[in-house]
Amino acid sequence: MYELVYGHRRIRAAKILNWPIISCDVVSYSDEQMLQCSFAENISREDLSDYEIALNLQRLHKDFGKTYDEIGLLFGYSKAHVCNYIRMLHLFDEQTLADDPVLTSCLYKIREHHARLLHQIQDTETRKKTLKLVVSEGLAVKDLEHIILRLRSWFQAPQENAMGPDNSQLSEDISKIESMLGRIYTLPGVGDINSYLDFFKSSDLSMFTSLPPLERLDAATAFNNEKKWFRLIRHLSATLRDIQVKIIDNVAIATLYVDYAGKVDGSNIEMSTRGTTVFAKRDDHWQIIHAHWSKLENQRVKEGMKTMSLLA
C-alpha cells in the first residue's frame, strides 16, 4: 500500500499526456515528514490561500510540537511571519465560525496582512462585518489600512452597538448617499460648481485616481483636481449603474460604475470607470472623505489619453 506524498501535479500532467509509467522514489516518511513535503509542494501553488498556509503551519506547531522558529527555518519564514499567519486562525472563535459559516469562506479569500489589520477591531460584530465587506468589495490591503487608520470612530465598543442599527435610519442614510452620488454627476450639466465642490470640502479628503497624477492626492490637490474634472465633465453625459452602499456605524462605502459619453474639442469620448467612495457622517451629514477610481479594461486608448491630457 503506497501513498503519494509529493508530485501530485506531475501525476496529473502524466495522465493528461497518457504516459503509462512515471519514475518515483519509494521512501518511508513519518506523518510529520509527509506534512512538510505536502506543504512544501502546495506553497508554490498560486491559488493556495494565506488561510490554508496558516492551517498547515498551525498543524506543525500543535500536532508535531514544532516551535515557530523551527517552522520558519523549514520554509524560509521569519518567526514573526509564522506568527502573523497563525494569528489568522484567531480572528474568530470556533463558536462564532460555527454560527456564521460564511466567515470561514471569507477567511480563505483574504491576505494575511488583511487579518493583521482586522485584529485591530476589538468588537467581534464589527470585525465580522468588516471582513465580509473586504471580501464583497474586493478591498485591497491599502484600502483597509486607510479606513482603519483614518476612521477609528468606525469601530465602536460592543456596548455602544448593543441596540443594533435602526432600519429606517439605515434606509434614509442609503437614500441620502445615493442622492449625493446622483447630484455629483448632474450638477456639472447646470454649471453649479459651488454646490459640486461642497461635496468635497473636507480637511480629510484624499483620492486615488485613474487620471494623472497616478498617485494618492492629498486634500488640497484632490480638491483642485475636482475643479478641473468639473470643467471637463460639463461636456459629458454620465450614467451611474450598479450602485451599492454599505454602512457600518458612521462610515459608508459606496461602489459604482460610471459610463461617460460626449464630445470634447471635437473628439468623441466614451469611457467607463469604477469607483469606491468613502463617506463619514458628521453632525447628521454625510461627507466624502476618500475616493478611489480606476478605468475598466478594454477602454478606447486614444480617447482615454485625450481625456487624461485635458486634466494634466
188-245 tens-digit pLDDT = 878 888 888 888 887 788 999 887 777 888 888 998 888 888 888 888 888 888 889 9
pLDDT score at 213: 74
* CA distance between the termini of the chain: 69
Q: Where are the beta strands (DSSP E) in the chain?
A: 206-208, 216-217, 236-248, 251-264, 267-282, 285-295
Domain 8-153 part of CATH 3.20.20.10: no
Tell me the three cell numbers of residue 167. 432600519
Average pLDDT, the chain: 80
Region 157-171: mean pLDDT is 55
Region 95-110: mean pLDDT is 93
Angle at 223 between CA 220 and CA 224, to 5 degrees: 85
Is residue 97 over pLDDT 80?
Answer: yes
pLDDT score at 308: 36
Second CATH level (architecture) for the domain 167-311: Roll (3.10)
CB-facing half-sphere around the CA of 230: CA atoms within 13 A: 21
CA dihedral 204, 120, 176, 140 (to 10 degrees): 80
Helix, strand, coil tally for the chain in percent (to 5): 50, 20, 30
Torsions phi, psi of 291, nearest 5?
Answer: -135, 145
Is residue 44 over pLDDT 60?
Answer: no
Residue 89: pLDDT band with limits 50, 70, 90: very high
Residue 134: pLDDT band with limits 50, 70, 90: very high
So where are the chain's domains? 8-153, 167-311
Is residue 222 within 8 Å of 306, Cβ to Cβ? no
Tell me the three cell numbers of residue 183. 447630484
